C-alpha cells in the first residue's frame, strides 16, 4: 500500500502545504496569486546553493535548501508586498498574478535554470519529509488561530477600518500575512522540486496557482485543517475514480468538477465547515480576579483632546471650519447638530481617520497631522464606534470584543507555539477582560452568537463593548442610540454616565436630543461645519440659534424630532428641570422611563 501510494500520499502533503500558503493570505482577507511565482523562485535558486554533501558534515543538503528557499520566499514576498500591499481584492489578485508571470518569464530566460527545458534535482524528499513539513506548517497555523495575531488577521478580513480603530496596524499585518505566505510557498517550491526530481518554470503557472487557490477554498479558511482536507479531497478524487474502474478520459475530470461544484455550492465554509468548532473561545470568564492589571486612566479633569481652529474641506466644501474643542478625562461631551453639520467629520479627525486641512490638535499627546495613523491613536487610548455599525460580522460577539482588547493584550503566538503556561494565562486574561465588557453592556448571554446575527440594538451595544475592551482613555460614540427605543436609550445614558464616572472621557454624537441633554456634561452644537453653541445642556436647550438650526433644516425625520424636543416640550422648563435632576445624579434623570428591574445596571464598576 505504502509503495503503491507513496507518491499520492507525498503529493497530498505537498499540495496541502501549497494550500496553506494561500490560506495564510486568505485568513487576512487578501487574494494573492503570487504563491507559485514565489515557489518557483525558491525552487530554482535553491538549486544553486544546495550542496551535494552534508554541510559541515551534519547539516543535510535538504535542510539547507528548505531554509534558503523559505528565506527567498520571505524576501521576495516582502519586496513584492511593498508596492502591492495597498491594493485590495481583484486588483491585488491581478498584480500578484502578474508577478507570477514575470517570475516565470524571468526564469525561462536565465541560463542557470536551463530555460524551458527545466532543471533536474536529486530526490531528497519522500513521504516522511513531506509530512513532517506539513505537520510543522499545520501546527504553526493551529497555534496562530487562537493568538492575538490570528485574531488581528480575522479582524482585518472582516473589516479593515474597524480593525484600524482597534489599534491594529493593518498595513503591517497584511504584510505579515504576505510574508508568511511567501515562506510557506518557498517551502512548497523546494519540497516539490526535490520530490519530483525535475522542475521547469512552466510548471509554476497560473493554472497551478488556481489549483492551489481552489484547494485552499475547498478546504475552507475557517479552520487550520482546511488546506489538508482540500488537498486530500482533490488528490484522492482521481485516484478513487481509477480504483472504481472509471475509464481514463474526459469523464473523470467531469466527475471531479461536479463534486467540486457540489462542495462549493453546499459548503460555503469549505470542507472544514463540516467539523464542529471548539466552543471554548465562546465561553465567558466572569471571575473578576482573572482580569489583567491595567494602567490607571488619566486623572479626571486632565485635558485629553485639545483642538484649535481645526477644519476640513473637500475641494470647495467646508465640512468643518475652525472648530476649537477640548475634552477632559471623566466628562461627557455631546456633539449635536442637524444632519450634514460635520459632526462625524470632526470625530473622524479626532480619531485619526481623517487628517485635518487646517488648524492644530493634540489627542492623548499625539499631534493631529496628515501623517497621524488611526491605529496609533487607538494604541494610545482612543476607542470609537461607528455611525454605520462596523462589527466583525462572522466572528462571535466575544471574539469581537477580544479583538477590541488588542491594545491591552500580549501577542501570544510564540508562547502558544511553545505551549508556555503564560500563553494560557494571557489568553484567559484577555477573555476575562472581554467578558466583563460584554456583561457590562448586557450581552453576557449572547457571547457565542455571531455578531452579524444580533439585533440592531445589540449590535450597537456590542460595538461599545468592543471599544471598551481596549481600556480607552477617550471613547468616541457616533450615534450610539440610533435605532434604540426610550428604554434602551435610557440604559445607554446610564452606561455612559458610569463610564465617565470611571474616568473615561466620552465624546458622543447623537440625534436623540433629550438623551443628550440628560447625559452630557457639556454640549457643542455644530451647523454647517461651525460651532453655533457650546456649554452646559441647560444653556444649549435655551439657545434660540440651536432651535433655529434644527427648524431650518426640516424635512428630515431626525431633525424634526430633535426640533420638537427642543421646541414643543416647553423648552426652557424642560431644560431647567433636567438640569436640576442632573445634579441629583444620573439615575434620577431616567427614573421616569427606565424599567424598575435595573437590568442595565452595570454589574462590575471598576
Q: Which residues bind another protein (CB under 8 A)?
A: 1, 3-8, 11, 15, 104-105, 108-109, 115-118, 120, 123, 196-198, 200-203, 236, 238-240, 242-243, 248-250, 252-253, 274-276
For residue 207, the minimal CB distance to another protein (Å) is 9
Q: Judged by CB, which is closer to another protein: 6, or 422?
A: 6
Q: Judged by CB, which is closer to another protein: 196, or 393?
A: 196
Return the closest-CA partner of residue 475 out of 352, 356, 351. 351
Q: Which residue has the cell 436630543?
A: 513
For the purposes of burial, counting CB atoms within 10 Å of the CB of 176, is it exposed (0-12), middle (13-18) or buried (19 or more)? middle
Q: Judged by CB, which is closer to another protein: 195, or 406?
A: 195
Cell digits of residue 60:
543535510
For residue 21, the minimal CB distance to another protein (Å) is 16
Q: Judged by CB, which is closer to another protein: 91, or 198?
A: 198
Q: Judged by CB, which is closer to another protein: 274, or 599?
A: 274
For residue 249, the minimal CB distance to another protein (Å) is 5
291: DSSP letter: S
Please enumerate, as own/partner, the contacts of 441-444 that have beta carbons within 8 Å and a separation of 24 or more. 441/465, 441/468, 441/495, 442/491, 442/599, 442/600, 443/397, 444/284, 444/286
Q: What is the CA radius of gyration of the chain?
A: 29
For residue 256, the minimal CB distance to another protein (Å) is 10
Q: Which residue has the cell 464616572?
A: 501
Q: Judged by CB, which is closer to another protein: 114, or 302?
A: 114
Return the closest-CA partner of residue 491 out of 439, 561, 441, 445. 441
For residue 274, the minimal CB distance to another protein (Å) is 7
Distance CA 13, CA 10 (A): 5
Count of other CB atoms within 10 angstroms of residue 315: 5
Q: Judged by CB, which is closer to another protein: 15, or 344?
A: 15
Q: Judged by CB, which is closer to another protein: 18, or 465?
A: 18
3-state DSSP call for residue 463?
helix
Q: Are 50 and 62 in contact (CB under 8 A)?
A: yes
Beta bridge partners of 311: 358
For residue 252, the minimal CB distance to another protein (Å) is 7
Q: Judged by CB, which is closer to another protein: 116, or 572?
A: 116
Beta bridge partners of 360: 308
Distance CA 257, CA 306 (A): 62
For residue 456, the minimal CB distance to another protein (Å) is 31
Distance CA 565, CA 555 (A): 16
Angle between helices 6-26 and 206-219 in degrees, nearest 10: 80
Quote the strand ranges of 99-168, DSSP E: 119-120
For residue 429, the minimal CB distance to another protein (Å) is 27
Question: How far is residue 475 CA from its own chain's centroid?
Answer: 19
For residue 1, the minimal CB distance to another protein (Å) is 5
Give Cβ neighbours of residue 100 (< 8 Å, ≥ 6 apart): 33, 34, 35, 36, 37, 204, 205, 206, 209
Q: Judged by CB, which is closer to another protein: 134, or 504?
A: 134
Distance CA 483, CA 472 (A): 25
Q: Are 382 and 513 in contact (CB under 8 A)?
A: no
For residue 186, the minimal CB distance to another protein (Å) is 19
For residue 6, the minimal CB distance to another protein (Å) is 7
Q: Judged by CB, which is closer to another protein: 19, or 403?
A: 19
Q: Judged by CB, which is closer to another protein: 6, or 287?
A: 6
Give Cβ neighbours of residue 570 (< 8 Å, ≥ 6 apart): none
Distance CA 73, CA 52 (A): 22
Helix or strand holding residue 24 (H, E): helix 6-26
For residue 135, the minimal CB distance to another protein (Å) is 17
Amino acid at each position: 500500500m505504502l509503495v503503491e501510494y507513496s507518491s499520492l500520499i507525498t503529493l497530498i502533503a505537498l499540495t496541502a502545504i501549497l494550500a496553506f500558503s494561500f490560506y495564510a493570505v486568505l485568513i487576512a482577507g487578501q487574494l494573492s496569486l503570487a504563491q507559485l511565482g514565489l515557489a518557483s523562485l525558491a525552487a530554482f535558486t535553491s538549486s544553486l546553493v544546495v550542496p551535494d554533501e552534508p554541510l559541515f558534515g551534519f547539516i543535510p543538503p535538504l535542510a539547507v535548501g528548505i531554509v534558503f528557499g523559505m528565506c527567498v520566499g520571505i524576501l521576495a514576498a516582502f519586496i513584492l508586498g511593498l508596492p502591492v500591499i495597498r491594493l485590495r481584492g481583484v486588483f491585488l489578485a491581478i498584480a500578484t498574478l502578474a508577478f507570477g508571470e514575470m517570475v516565470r518569464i524571468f526564469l525561462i530566460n536565465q541560463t542557470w535554470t536551463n530555460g524551458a527545458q527545466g532543471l533536474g534535482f536529486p530526490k531528497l524528499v519522500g513521504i516522511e519529509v513531506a509530512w513532517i513539513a506539513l505537520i510543522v506548517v499545520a501546527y504553526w497555523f493551529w497555534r496562530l488561530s487562537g493568538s492575538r495575531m490570528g485574531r488581528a488577521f480575522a479582524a482585518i478580513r472582516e473589516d479593515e477600518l474597524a480593525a484600524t480603530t482597534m489599534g491594529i496596524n493593518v498595513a503591517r499585518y497584511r504584510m505579515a500575512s504576505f510574508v508568511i505566505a511567501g515562506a510557506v510557498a518557498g517551502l512548497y517550491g523546494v519540497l516539490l522540486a526535490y520530490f519530483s526530481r525535475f522542475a521547469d518554470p512552466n510548471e509554476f503557472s497560473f493554472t497551478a496557482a488556481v489549483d492551489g487557490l481552489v484547494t485552499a477554498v475547498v478546504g475552507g479558511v475557517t479552520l487550520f485543517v482546511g488546506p489538508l482536507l482540500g488537498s486530500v479531497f482533490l488528490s484522492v478524487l482521481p485516484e478513487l475514480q481509477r480504483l472504481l474502474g472509471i475509464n481514463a478520459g474526459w469523464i473523470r475530470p467531469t466527475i471531479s468538477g461536479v463534486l467540486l461544484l457540489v462542495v462549493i455550492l453546499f459548503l460555503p465554509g469549505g470542507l472544514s465547515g463540516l467539523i464542529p468548532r471548539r466552543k471554548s473561545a465562546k465561553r465567558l470568564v466572569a471571575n473578576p480576579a482573572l482580569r489583567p492589571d491595567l494602567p490607571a486612566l488619566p486623572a479626571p479633569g486632565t485635558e485629553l483632546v485639545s483642538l484649535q481652529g481645526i477644519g476640513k474641506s473637500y475641494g470647495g466644501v467646508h465640512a468643518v471650519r475652525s472648530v476649537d474643542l477640548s475634552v477632559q478625562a471623566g466628562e461627557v461631551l455631546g456633539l449635536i447638530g442637524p444632519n450634514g453639520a460635520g459632526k462625524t467629520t470632526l470625530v473622524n479627525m479626532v480619531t485619526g481617520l481623517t487628517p485635518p486641512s487646517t488648524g492644530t490638535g493634540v489627542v492623548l499627546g499625539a499631534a493631529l497631522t496628515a501623517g497621524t495613523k488611526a491605529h496609533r491613536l487607538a494604541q494610545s487610548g482612543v476607542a470609537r464606534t461607528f455611525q454605520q455599525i462596523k462589527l466583525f460580522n462572522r466572528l462571535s460577539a466575544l471574539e469581537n470584543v477580544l479583538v477590541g482588547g488588542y491594545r491591552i493584550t500580549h501577542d501570544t503566538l510564540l508562547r502558544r507555539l511553545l505551549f508556555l503556561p503564560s500563553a494560557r494565562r494571557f489568553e484567559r486574561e484577555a477573555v476575562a477582560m472581554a467578558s466583563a465588557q460584554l456583561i457590562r453592556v448586557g450581552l453576557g448571554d449572547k457571547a457565542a452568537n455571531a455578531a452579524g446575527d444580533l439585533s440592531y440594538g445589540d449590535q450597537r451595544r456590542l460595538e461599545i463593548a468592543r471599544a471598551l475592551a481596549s481600556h480607552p482613555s477617550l471613547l468616541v460614540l457616533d450615534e450610539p442610540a440610533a435605532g434604540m427605543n426610550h428604554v434602551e436609550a435610557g440604559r445607554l445614558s446610564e452606561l455612559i454616565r458610569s463610564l465617565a464616572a470611571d474616568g473615561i472621557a466620552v465624546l458622543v454624537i447623537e440625534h436623540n436630543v433629550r438623551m443628550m441633554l440628560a447625559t452630557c456634561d457639556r454640549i457643542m452644537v455644530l451647523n454647517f461645519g461651525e460651532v453655533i453653541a457650546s456649554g452646559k445642556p441647560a444653556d444649549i436647550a435655551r439657545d434660540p440659534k440651536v432651535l433655529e438650526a434644527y427648524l431650518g433644516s426640516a424635512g428630515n425625520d431626525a431633525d424634526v424630532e430633535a426640533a420638537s424636543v427642543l421646541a414643543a416640550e416647553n423648552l426652557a422648563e424642560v431644560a431647567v428641570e433636567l438640569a436640576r435632576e442632573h445634579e441629583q445624579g444620573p439615575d434620577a434623570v431616567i427614573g421616569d422611563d427606565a424599567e424598575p428591574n435595573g437590568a442595565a445596571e452595570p454589574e462590575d464598576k471598576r
